[in-house]
Structure 1
Amino acid sequence: MSEATKRHREETRAPVLAARNVVRRFGGLVAVNDVSFDVRAGEILGLIGPNGAGKTTMFDVLAGSILPTSGEIFLNGARVSGEAAHLRIGRGLGRTFQIPRPLPNLTLIENIMLAAQGQAGEKLLANFVTPWRVATQERAARTKALELLELVTLTHLAHEPARVLSGGQRKLLELARVMMADPAIILLDEPAAGVNASLLEVIIDRIRDINARGITFLLIEHNIDMVTRLCHRVLVMASGQLLSEGTAEEVARDPRVIEAYLGGAA
């Protein structure tokens, strides 16, 4: 199959997540200015740009942490522009954060189990009326949590409190926790930040493994080497606008990107 044919097939895949003419203002500041793009099913899409470009605000709008001033967000074809973050999780959108904040006194397995969706035991009455159902779901959640800990290479710490983890291990735990909700797409906020080189390789491998299962990724990242190695396409934002789109090599050659990052220096 030719590269042109492959690219055509990728470009015609239905988007899992789509932004259409998104604007987000904070008073007189326009943090995101008329941004539109698609995240295609099965891809790893990078979102890069200099500090203050509007990347994190765009992530917050996509995740439902804040609502757009105008424009539309679509998730698996459904308009979700006005929906809160927890409703988007139920639709298959997961998100990690630049600084993970697990519950420090709970074990790793307990932290992951908290992310299980649709648990009967969350309703007080069910614990008395259908305790067998609650127990069955809890056993299944524990089994799944252990499988996810194995996926992120943290099985040996399953019953340790989360406070013992390093920064890189917390990123891996958060990845396992978001997987517990069975997402179709995961928004990754700077997965390389504060991570040592050896654990960064583990994180890159785990993202690839999860993507191979059919899960889509959109990631913000300043580590350009990681973006180049992982991402099928790259979006570049600057001053709240979408500046460039293409492969990592294509955007690196774009004079507008060079200008945004280096002030015109070659």
Structure 2
Amino acid sequence: MMIAASGPSGPETVLSVSHASKRYGGLVAVDDVSFNLAKGEILGLIGPNGAGKTTMFDLVAGSQKPSSGRIAVHGRDVSGQSAHRRIAHGLGRTFQIPRPFPQLSLIDNVLLARQNQTGEGVIANFLSPRRVAAEERAAVEKARALLDFVLLSRLESEPAKVLSGGQRKLLELARVMMADPAIVLLDEPAAGVNATLLEVIIDRITEINRRGISFLLIEHNIDMVSRLCGRVLVMASGQLLCEGTAQQVATDPRVIEAYLGGAA
């Protein structure tokens, strides 16, 4: 049975997915899924392996285009736009396996994520050198502040290849924040992270969320989901199965059936 998760009433909707489907020939990976993400919300998306949640995530991020349906950011239809174009609309994402440039320093990795710099144009470097220089200084200051925020400032000159898996997740969080997103898509931030760094990641996500930034979180770590997410969506077999609090979905018979084949 398919359901449509509309999101909480009242708050502004920043992300809207309407009847999204993704087909690969005869295979339907995502089947008529609808949900909204409200401003300031941390929304969890969970489901057993093969549920279609990663494909759904890629449709929202712009890595793939839906076969049908509509995806809107701040009311703007972005269904046919690339991931790069969606960043310009305030939609950023992290990856389950972080992808830093291993030979570049941490600060250069963060600086690469900045958007709409005057110095990106060759002519501007000649016509507005002072403006370009001022923007460069501001960008460096912002990158350093973000590295400090994720507790990596002491390593800012080190190449990204020296980082542990958990530190790479923190670096990726700094990189996505460099683009000033209004919405952040988090792809399994707990995967491969030790308990100590996981607490840091949870704390940093909470602090960013306090600033009004919304999150859509895919995660297998149910403890993390229950701590961060006020609302959780569950997918199974490409469809949206149910929604509710973490406690509600954990005890829903449909969820137990999807995960355990009926074994309680």
Q: Same fold (TM over 0.5)?
A: yes
Aligned equivalent of 2:190: 192
Letter in 1 for 2:207: D
Aligned equivalent of 1:259: 257
Identity %: 70
Alignment partner of 2:86 out of 85, 88, 96: 88
Aligned equivalent of 2:150: 152
Letter in 2 for 1:248: A
Aligned equivalent of 1:216: 214
User: How far does residue 10 in structure 1 lie from its aligned partner after superposition?
Assistant: 4.3
User: How far does residue 128 in structure 1 lie from its aligned partner after superposition?
Assistant: 2.2
TM-score by length of 1: 0.95
User: How far does residue 99 in structure 1 lie from its aligned partner after superposition?
Assistant: 0.3
CA distance in 2 between counterparts of 1:77 and 1:241 reads: 23
Letter in 2 for 1:213: R
Alignment partner of 1:35 out of 17, 33, 36: 33
Aligned equivalent of 2:4: none
Does residue 231 (structure 1) correspond to residue 237 (structure 2)? The answer is no
Aligned equivalent of 1:66: 64
Letter in 2 for 1:141: A
User: How far does residue 39 in structure 1 lie from its aligned partner after superposition?
Assistant: 0.7
SS at match of 2:122: coil
Letter in 2 for 1:197: A
Letter in 1 for 2:144: L
CA distance in 1 between counterparts of 2:40 and 2:138 reads: 27
CA distance in 2 between counterparts of 1:10 and 1:149 reads: 33
CA distance in 1 between counterparts of 2:121 and 2:29 reads: 40
SS at match of 1:205: helix
CA distance in 1 between counterparts of 2:104 and 2:131 reads: 24
Letter in 2 for 1:60: D
CA distance in 2 between counterparts of 1:189 and 1:177 reads: 14
Which stretches in structure 1 are left out of the alignment for 5+ residues?
A: 1-8
Letter in 2 for 1:45: L
User: How far does residue 125 in structure 1 lie from its aligned partner after superposition?
Assistant: 1.9
Alignment partner of 2:246 out of 231, 241, 248: 248
SS at match of 1:125: helix
Aligned residues: 258
CA distance in 1 between counterparts of 2:10 and 2:27 reads: 35
Which stretches in structure 2 are left out of the alignment for 5+ residues?
A: 1-6
User: How far does residue 240 in structure 1 lie from its aligned partner after superposition?
Assistant: 0.3
Aligned equivalent of 1:139: 137
Letter in 2 for 1:122: E
Aligned equivalent of 2:14: 16
SS at match of 1:33: strand
Alignment partner of 1:169 out of 167, 170, 173: 167
SS at match of 1:22: strand
User: How far does residue 14 in structure 1 lie from its aligned partner after superposition?
Assistant: 2.1
TM-score by length of 2: 0.96
CA distance in 2 between counterparts of 1:100 and 1:11 reads: 34
Aligned equivalent of 1:129: 127
Aligned equivalent of 1:54: 52
CA distance in 2 between counterparts of 1:10 and 1:85 reads: 26
After superposition, the C-alpha distances for 1:53-111 in whole angstroms (9 at most, x for unaligned) are 11111011001111100000010111111111111100000000000010111111110
CA distance in 2 between counterparts of 1:57 and 1:10 reads: 24
After superposition, the C-alpha distances for 1:181-216 in whole angstroms (9 at most, x for unaligned) are 000000000000000110000000000000011100
SS at match of 2:71: strand
